[in-house]
Amino acid sequence: MYAVDDEIRCIAADLVAQLQECGYTFATAESCTGGSVAAAVTSVAGCSSVMLGGVVAYNNSVKSRVLGVDEALLASHGAVSEPVVRQMVNGVATLLGADCAVATSGIAGPSGGTAEKPVGTVWLAAKAGAVVKTKLLETGIGEREYNIKRSVKEVISLLQDVIEDSKER
């Protein structure tokens, strides 16, 4: 986890305000971001009215045992995949009883990438109520801190969009 900079704190503050306005609670399921999304949100004064908690599920056994990710999915698709982040986001929302949640799973680097999933490949998921959206982030950058911070920004933005979409339903 990296220090929360001013840009990320501002983005997180906007999310906290949006959650407060909607009366929603929030939880995180993080792999490659290692708790950085939770750190960003909890850096905002007043976040305790919305933030329930988070799970850093770095190891696949935690994804499976704690978040309920199907082991067969992990074996067939790998941890860095859309079906896995979908199950992670639904699992943490159920586990903590949150209205909204995010999930991240990726290859932050500088090593660990493959031809199919190079460093900088990150799957993101966001959930508000019954609405779940995913996004594939491919930074093409081998710098760990950059990939983590970019993932934090992108998943917060994705959740803000999902909240707006869920209000329209």
Per-residue pLDDT in tens (0 to 9) along the chain, 169 residues: 567 899 999 999 999 999 999 999 999 999 999 999 999 999 999 999 999 999 999 999 999 999 999 999 999 999 999 999 999 999 999 999 999 999 999 999 999 999 999 999 999 999 999 999 999 999 999 999 999 999 999 999 999 999 998 877 6
Across 55-64, b (16+ Cβ under 10 Å) vs e yields: bbbbebeebb
CATH number at residue 91: 3.90.950.20
pTM for the full model? 0.97
Domain assignment present for 66? yes
Cα 48 to Cα 130: distance, rounded to the nearest angstrom: 23
CB contact set of 50 (below 8 Å; sequence gap of 6+): 16, 19, 20, 24, 25, 26, 41
Among residues 70, 60, 124, 126, the alpha carbon closest in space to that of 93 is found at 126
pLDDT value for 158: 98
- 10: which 2 tokens? 């501002």
pLDDT value for 63: 98
pLDDT value for 1: 57
Domain assignment present for 42? yes
pLDDT value for 168: 73
pLDDT value for 152: 98
Cα 92 to Cα 27: distance, rounded to the nearest angstrom: 7
- 77: which 2 tokens? 């698709």
Domain count, the chain: 1
Range of the domain at 84: 6-167
Q: Would you give the end-to-end CA distance of the chain in angstroms?
A: 35
pLDDT value for 97: 98
Domain assignment present for 1? no
pLDDT value for 2: 66
DSSP letter at 44? S
Domain assignment present for 137? yes
Cα 25 to Cα 6: distance, rounded to the nearest angstrom: 23
